[in-house]
Amino acid sequence: MSKKSTTLFDKVWDAHVVREIEDGPDILFIDRHFIHEVTSPVAFLGLKNRGLKVMFPEKTFATADHNTPTINQHLPVQDPLSAKQLEALENNTAKYGISHWGLGNPRNGIVHVIGPENGITLPGMTIVCGDSHTSTHGAFGAIAFGIGTSEVEMVLSSQCIMQPKPKKMRINVNGKLGWGITPKDVALYIISKLTTAGATGYFVEYAGEVFRDMSMEGRMTVCNMSIEMGARGGMVAPDETTFSYIKGREKAPTGQAWDDALAYWKTLKSDEDAVFDMEYHFDAADIEPMITYGTNPGMGIGISQSIPTAEEAGGGKASFEKALNYMGFNESEPMLGKKVDYVFIGSCTNGRIEDFRAFASVVKGRKKADHITAWIVPGSHVVEKQIREEGIYDILTEAGFQLRQPGCSACLAMNDDKIPAGKYAVSTSNRNFEGRQGPGSRTLLASPLVAAAAAVTGVVTDPRELLAQQELVQA
Amino acid sequence: MAYDKFTLLKSTAVPLPIENVDTDQIIPARFLKATERKGFGDNLFRDWRYDGDGNPKADFVLNDPTYSGKILVAGKNFGSGSSREHAAWAIYDYGFRCVVSSFFADIFKNNSLNVGILPVQVSPEFLDKLFQAIIANPGTELEVSLPDQLIRIVDTNESESFEINSYKKHNLMNGFDDIDYLQAMKEDIFAFAEKSRY
Ligand code: SF4
């Protein structure tokens, strides 16, 4: 009998189904559960009220990242509510025997940065966390998605989650990316084409030459943004790039276990004739550096283009006008040359070493624009260490920038890193919703290169111009 | 967390004809600092509802006494963005038991069902009809029947059916949640974990 051909997603999903409920969700076993201080306290409270235990504490990992300060982390946390959440995490993890890399721990950092960095995230796993950008871990060929607090309680108490099986979508991008085009641009481009609801109900597989050529950091950036088009998650089939990234990391398998794992991981790909419920094809040559002009991540354009009119953008006119009004922009205006007040590089989208290398490549030999406030926030202490060791720190300080300490920071502005009302921020994070980076803040999402170009010129600038000058100087 | 059972809901409704309402609008991040699930309703739609000084904004629908009720009728793609369940808690705590839209973001839909809010997905045409009826007459009553999977405009008797899987329907009607179910199958889970690869 011939085996039914399946997708990568089916292979991983089906291997984790404990039970199927008729006309209901599947019960899915979860291999790794990440928790943080903001979405876990109420879940632990629920456990306590029901008198339940944590079923497999060794499968859960905790970090403090969402509300933590990015300066003076050695001092007690000032905000009493944040301090209380951090304390709750510390107590809960100690009580149930869960490993906790809190503030001050050298492995502390943003949850979706430290999972891969320490070899906790592996191909073929199911991974959940009470944060929607859990989709990041899909870069390893894992099924990874964000969950709500009730579901956090579910996973703590039963290591399982109930989920209707999503439909499958494949997004192919073929060809070669142009010079100065980064994975973030690929993600923003796809979202601008699909809209923020375009992949709702689907799990995405990214395929094609562009993703095959991409580094793990880049794949993480793309998978991270999957949620911004409504998808539960996105994944890339593991390959040599994946395996060499994982090998030697702290929690990665070794010896015989590595060989066994590798043999299995190599089977993790969609069959040649696998059928997807939806499929898209894009050409890498069509992608230029992207920037958003509105209040959701789908409102993005190539940096040299003008803001569309409501008609051109499609969708509801009232919502479009509300967005432009909030941003203080007009239809048909160019984005290039718009004044910027703040620049934020960091977050689980673009807070990895490759992102800071890109940022530094533009900044090198230049100075921060006087009126710009820049928050440069590594995704983890490991990234921070790399920044120092690779000389990026020196490039930054010579240009007048300061390096902050790791955390989510201005990605969601739960700590003090808030963009003031009315100010414009070019941000490498993932959401430009109204007030996301502080009440009244106006966010322009972009890549680390575009962020760097804005940081040194003070306005929205095509980074390719600056990179070209750089090359001339060096030649 | 226990919630009220849901069977039949008859109520006036509050219209929010805006698309892509994300969970950062429903409850901004700075209000996520609680370690208990209490009082989130006060900050529901905080930045649309109050100005920087905490004064109510007259043009926002929750501040308009014309509209009230236990049903929120909202534009397409409601609840996108952050997975924060706090968004669903805020909606529940404020007093809504049902949200109607022509499209919901996945995580929000799951979170709602887990906290006892019924998300009712209707066609874009029926959604328009609802907005028109409510705005023309804020006293318009809607009836949402979970057993029949039907939403009806009481005055005109126009109705549309909606989807929900029978497992979730059963849970909502009985006030059960997934944790009860999972606890009852622990043996199977332990057995599964035995042969798990990771
Ligand atoms: S950086 Fe932003 S998106 Fe990433 S985990 Fe933190 S808050 Fe969530």
Task: Judge if A386 and A352 occupy the same domain.
Answer: yes
What is the average pLDDT value for chain A, to the nearest integer?
96
Return the best residue to mutate from A39, A128, A131 for the ligand 1 pocket (most ligand atoms within 8 A of CB).
A131
Q: In this structure, is the dihedral angle defined by the CA atoms of residues A436, A437, A441 and A445, taken in order, positive or negative?
A: negative
Dmax of chain A from CA atoms? 70
Between CA A343 and CA A350 the distance in angstroms is 13
φ, ψ (nearest 5 deg) of residue B56: -60, 140
Query: E strand or H helix at B14, and its extent?
Result: strand B8-16
Evaluate whether residue A245 is within a structural domain: no
Work out the end-to-end distance of chain A between its first and last CA atoms, rounded to an integer number of angstroms.
Answer: 63
Task: Judge if A121 and A155 occupy the same domain.
Answer: yes
CATH of the domain at A94: 3.30.499.10
From the CA of A36, give the closest atom in ligand 1.
Answer: 5
Cβ proximity of A146 and A132 under 8 Å: yes
Task: Judge if A429 and A384 occupy the same domain.
Answer: yes
Tell me the sheet residues that pair with A174. Answer: A283
Q: Give the pLDDT mean for A450-459.
A: 98
Residue B2: per-residue pLDDT:
63
Total domains, chain A: 3
Between CA A142 and CA A123 the distance in angstroms is 5
Cβ proximity of A392 and A357 under 8 Å: yes
Task: Judge if A132 and A277 occupy the same domain.
Answer: no
Ligand 1 midpoint to CA A431 (Å): 10
The residue segments making up the domain with residue A65 are: 8-164+251-263
Both tokens of A161, joined, read 């989650």
Distances (CA, A) of B197 to A32, A123, A251, A415: 12, 11, 14, 38
Q: State yes or no: pLDDT of B43 exceeds 80.
A: yes
Evaluate whether residue A244 is within a structural domain: no
Both tokens of A248, joined, read 């030697």
φ, ψ (nearest 5 deg) of residue B104: -120, 145
Q: Which amino acid is at A271?
A: D
Per-residue confidence band for B3, with pLDDT thresholds at 50, 70 and 90:
confident
Contacts of A324 (CB under 8 A, 6+ apart): A293, A294, A307, A330, A331
Residue nearest (by alpha carbon) to ligand 1 atom 2: A411
Per-residue confidence band for B37, with pLDDT thresholds at 50, 70 and 90:
confident
Task: Judge if A228 and A153 occupy the same domain.
Answer: no
Q: State yes or no: pLDDT of A1 exceeds 60.
A: no
Q: How confident is the model over A213-228, as pLDDT tens digits?
A: 999 999 999 999 999 9
A110 CB under 6 A from ligand 1?
Answer: yes
- In this prediction the ipTM stands at 0.91
Between CA A453 and CA A243 the distance in angstroms is 34
Both tokens of A52, joined, read 């339940």
Q: Give the pLDDT mean for A455-469.
A: 96
Helix (H, G, I), strand (E, B) or coil at A216: helix
Helix (H, G, I), strand (E, B) or coil at A69: coil
Cβ proximity of A190 and A155 under 8 Å: no
| Whether B185 and A316 lie within 8 Å, measured CB to CB | no
Tell me the sheet residues that pair with A279. Answer: A170
- DSSP annotation string for A376-399: E--SBHHHHHHHHHTTHHHHHHHT
Task: Judge if A102 and A210 occupy the same domain.
Answer: no
Residue A301: per-residue pLDDT:
98
User: Which of A2-16, A90-104, A365-379 has the lowest average pLDDT?
Assistant: A2-16
Task: Judge if A232 and A141 occupy the same domain.
Answer: no
Query: E strand or H helix at B24, and its extent?
Result: helix B23-26
Q: Rg of the Cα trace of chain A?
A: 22
Q: State yes or no: pLDDT of A300 exceeds 50.
A: yes
Q: State yes or no: pLDDT of A471 exceeds 80.
A: no
Residue A464: per-residue pLDDT:
97
Q: Give the pLDDT mean for A53-74.
A: 95
Query: E strand or H helix at A428, and its extent?
Result: none
Q: State yes or no: pLDDT of A138 exceeds 90.
A: yes
| Whether A315 and B19 lie within 8 Å, measured CB to CB | yes
Task: Judge if A460 and A321 occupy the same domain.
Answer: yes
Residue B177: per-residue pLDDT:
86
User: Which of A113-117, A147-151, B121-125 has the lowest average pLDDT?
Assistant: A147-151
Percent of chain A surpassing pLDDT 70:
99
Per-residue confidence band for B35, with pLDDT thresholds at 50, 70 and 90:
confident
Per-residue confidence band for A2, with pLDDT thresholds at 50, 70 and 90:
very low
Evaluate whether residue A3 is within a structural domain: no
Residue B175: per-residue pLDDT:
87
Task: Judge if A116 and A213 occupy the same domain.
Answer: no
